[in-house]
Amino acid sequence: MKILVAVKRVVDYNVKVRVKADSSGVDLANVKMAMNPFCEIAVEEAVRLKEKGIATEIVVVSVGPSTAQEQLRTALALGADRAILVEIAEDLTSLAVAKLLKAVVDKEQPRLVILGKQAIDSDNNQTGQMLAALSGYGQGTFASKVEISGDSVAVTREIDGGAQTVSLKLPAIVTTDLRLNEPRYASLPNIMKAKKKPLEVVTADALGVSTASTNKTLKVEAPAARSAGIKVKSVAELVEKLKNEAKVI
């Protein structure tokens, strides 16, 4: 079966971002970018399904600037067969991205679409669910285990109180949680080979999708800073402070 994996270029998770002085957003100039960690897990799961002989082709797609080709090449080096970049300069909302992905899904007709559960920049946790709604497919969100048998997929999901397993008819949408797998590293020979794999670039216009949004970001500010704390010398002093100064125990 064909599997479609969506990946996003985001600021590297180790970077402590700074808000711009004019409150228009966070400063991403000269900041290290990388594949969203949850998307890495999505790619890894697809590659594992191919290694098990379940997936026949892995198509990786990204919606973003031309520089997102770097992340698509990374996915190709990890084992994806070909890539599609829906090139768009501005930041889109999850709904707009879901609509663009829906157009790609209509064209590619995958049996399974795997996305990360959330991107660590916008922290929205929406795109997979929205794509599922637009395609009319079942959704297995926050997946920690994915098992395909015949015409359905059993997805074990991380929920607030523990784990839940649902069965979905294929085609279906799965979004990955951190514990689904441990992503591999791309080897140098595979990085070289990935340069020769096909990467198609399309525009939102060519897909006939409107990316208009009902949301507008008015400003972005730094969170309130916590006032500096103190170091205590002993457990006894700590208990005394908690009881008499902070009055929390």
Partner 1 sequence: MTILVIAEHDNKVLAPATLNTVAAAAKIGGDIHVLVAGQGAGAVAEAAAKVAGVSKVLNADNAAYAHQLPENVAPLVAELGKGYSHILAAATSNGKNILPRVAAALDVDQISEIISVESADTFKRPIYAGNAIATVQSNAAVKVITVRATGFDPVAADGGSAAVEAVAAAHDAGISSFVGEELAKSDRPELTAAKIVVSGGRGMQNGDNFKHLYALADKLGAAVGASRAAVDAGFVPNDMQVGQTGKIVAPQLYIAVGISGAIQHLAGMKDSKVIVAINKDEEAPIFQVADYGLVADLFEAIPELEKLV
Sites for partner 1 among residues 64-93 (CB under 8 A): 93
- For residue 12, state whether it binds partner 1 (rule: CB under 8 A): no
Measured in degrees and rounded to the nearest 5, phi and psi for residue 113 equal -120, 130
Residue selected from 21, 89, 160, 188 as contacting partner 1 according to rule CB under 8 A: 160
10 or 47: CB nearest partner 1 = 10
Instruction: Name the minimum Å distance from CB 12 to partner 1.
Output: 11
Cross-strand partners of 204: none
Residue 167: CB partners within 8 Å, gap ≥ 6?
152, 153, 154, 155
Q: What's the rounded Cα separation, in Å, for the pair 199 and 60?
A: 9
Q: Residue 122 burial by CB count (10 A; 0-12/13-18/19+): exposed, middle or buried?
A: middle
For partner 1, how many residues bind (rule: CB under 8 A)? 79
Q: Rounded to 10 degrees, what is the CA torsion of 54, 55, 56, 57?
A: 180
Shortest separation between residue 66's beta carbon and partner 1, angstroms: 23
Backbone angles phi, psi at 82, to 5 degrees: -150, 165
Instruction: Tell the smallest beta-carbon distance from residue 178 to partner 1 (Å).
Output: 5
Q: Per rule CB under 8 A, is residue 33 in the interface with partner 1?
A: no
Q: Which stretch binds partner 1 (CB under 8 A): 74-82, 150-158, 183-191, 194-202?
A: 150-158
Least distance in angstroms from the C-beta of 173 to partner 1: 10
Contacts of partner 1 in 112-141 (CB under 8 A): 117-118, 120-134, 136-139, 141
221 sits near partner 1 (criterion: CB under 8 A):
yes
- The alpha-carbon radius of gyration of the chain (Å, integer) is 21
